[in-house]
Chains A and B, each alone.
Chain A
Amino acid sequence: MVIELDKVAYSYGGGELFSDLSLTMAPGSFHFLTGPSGAGKTTLLKLCYGELTATAGQARIFGQDSRTLSRDQVAMVRRRIGVVHQDCQFLDHLSVAENVALPLAVSGRASEAGQNLSDLLAWVGLTGQAAQRPPELSGGERQRAALARAVIMSPDVIIADEPTGNIDWEMSQRLLRLLVELNKMGKTVFVATHDLNLIRAAKSQVSARILRLKDRRLQVAGVDL
Chain B
Amino acid sequence: MSLQLRHSLSLMTGDKQADRSVPPTGFTAWLTLFTAAAMAFLAVFALALSTATDRLADRWAAELARTSTLRISAPEDQMAAQTAAAIRLLETTPGVAEARPLTDEEQRTLLEPWFGPDLPVETLPIPRLIEIIEEGEGYDPTGLRARLQAEVPGAVLDDHTRWREPLVEAANRLRLLGWVSIALIAASTGAMITLAAQAALSANAQVIRVMRLVGATDEYIASAFVRRFTIRAFNGAFVGVVLGGIGILFLPDTEVAGGFLTGLGFQGGEWIWLLLVPPLAAMVAFLATWAAALRNLREQS
Q: Is A122 an interface residue (CB 8 A)?
A: no
Residue A89 at the chain B interface, CB threshold 8 Å: yes
**A78 to B218 Cα, complex, angstroms:** 13
- The answer to whether B23 touches A93, judged by C-beta atoms less than 8 angstroms apart, is yes
Q: Is the CB of B211 within 8 A of A71?
A: no
Given contacts A71-B218, A71-B298, contact A51 B213 (CB under 8 A): yes
Alpha-carbon gap, A108 to B10, bound state (A): 11
Complex Cα distance, B21 from A105, in Å, reads 9
Chain B, 179-211, contact with A by CB distance < 8 Å: what is the 0/1 string?
A: 000000000000000000000000000010111
Tell me if B20 and A106 are in contact (CB < 8 A): no
- Given A91-B210, A94-B20, A98-B20, decide whether A106 and B220 contact each other with a Cβ distance below 8 A: yes
Q: Quick check: B212 and A75 within 8 Å, CB to CB?
A: yes
Question: Is the pair A102, B211 in contact by a Cβ cutoff of 8 Å?
Answer: yes
Which residue of chain A lies nearest to B301 when distances are taken between CB atoms in the complex?
A51
Chain B residues in 8 Å Cβ range of A72 = 217-219
> What is the bound-complex CA distance between A90 and B209, given in angstroms?
10
Provide the bound-state CA to CA distance between A103 and B207, in Å.
Answer: 13
Instruction: Determine whether B214 belongs to the interface, using a CB cutoff of 8 Å to chain A.
Output: yes
Q: Which chain B residues border A106 with CB–CB below 8 Å?
A: 18, 21, 211, 214-217, 220
Which chain A positions have C-beta within 8 A of B212? 74-75, 78
Q: Is the CB of B217 within 8 A of A71?
A: yes
Does A26 make an interface contact (CB < 8 A)? no
Q: Which A-chain residue is minimally distant from B217 (CB atoms)?
A: A75
Interface majority SS (helix, strand, loop, mixed), chain B = helix
Q: Is residue B92 within 8 Å, beta carbon to beta carbon, of the partner chain?
A: no
Tally B residues with Cβ within 8 Å of A.
21
A107: interface (CB < 8 Å): yes
Most buried by B among A51, A72, A106: A106
Chain A 72-90 interface 0/1 with B at a Cβ cutoff of 8 Å (1 = within): 1011101100010100011
- Alpha-carbon gap, A46 to B87, bound state (A): 99
Closest CB in chain B relative to A87 CB, distance in Å: 11
Given A90-B210, A108-B15, A110-B15, answer yes or no on A75-B215 (Cβ-Cβ < 8 Å): yes
- Check B23–A105 contact: CB distance below 8 A: no
Residues of A within 8 A of B218 (CB): 71-72, 75
A91 touches B217 (CB 8 A): no
Q: Are B17 and A83 in contact (CB under 8 A)?
A: no
Q: Does any Cβ of B come within 8 Å of A60's Cβ?
A: no
- Give bound CA distance, A110 to B19, whole Å: 13
List of B residues within 8 angstroms of A153 by Cβ? 215
Give min CB distance, A128 to chain B, whole Å.
22
B298 touching A103 by the CB < 8 A rule?
no
* A75 CA / B298 CA spacing, docked (Å): 13
Asked whether A105 lies within 8 Å of B18 as measured between CB atoms, the reply is: yes
Bound state CA distance, A102 and B211, in angstroms? 8
**Which residues from A are CB-within-8-Å of B15?**
105, 108, 110
Q: How far is the CA of A51 from the CA of B209 in the complex (A)?
A: 11
Inter-subunit contact B214/A102 (CB<8 Å): yes
Interface centre among A75, A78, A93, A107 (most CB of B within 10 A): A75
Tell whether, in the assembled complex, residue B215 and residue A103 are in contact, meaning their CB atoms are under 8 Å apart. Answer: yes
Give the complex CA separation of A76 and B17 in angstroms.
19
**With a CB–CB cut-off of 8 A, which chain B residues contact A71?**
217-218, 297-298
**A149 located at the interface, meaning its Cβ lies under 8 Å from any Cβ of chain B in the complex:** yes
CB distance from B228 to the nearest CB of A (A): 14
Known: A71-B218, A71-B298. A78 touches B213 (CB 8 A): yes
Kindly state the separation between the CA atoms of A72 and B212 in the bound complex, as whole angstroms: 10
**CA distance in complex: A174, B65 (Å):** 94
Q: Which of A76, A93, A103, A110 contacts B214 (CB 8 A)?
A: A103
In the assembled complex, the CB of A64 is this many whole angstroms from the nearest CB of chain B, namely: 16
27 contacts between A and B (CB under 8 A): A71-B217, A72-B218, A72-B219, A74-B212, A75-B212, A75-B216, A75-B217, A78-B212, A78-B213, A83-B213, A85-B213, A89-B209, A89-B210, A89-B213, A91-B21, A91-B23, A94-B21, A102-B211, A103-B214, A103-B215, A105-B17, A106-B18, A106-B214, A106-B215, A106-B216, A149-B214, A153-B215
Pairs of residues from A and B, 9 with the lowest C-beta to C-beta distance, nearest first: A106-B216, A79-B215, A78-B215, A105-B17, A93-B23, A103-B214, A75-B217, A110-B17, A89-B210
Q: Contact residues of A with B, CB < 8 Å?
A: 51, 71-72, 74-76, 78-79, 83, 85, 89-91, 93-94, 98, 102-103, 105-108, 110, 149, 153
Given contacts A72-B219, A105-B17, 7 further A-B contacts (CB under 8 A): A72-B217, A74-B212, A75-B217, A102-B214, A106-B215, A106-B217, A110-B15
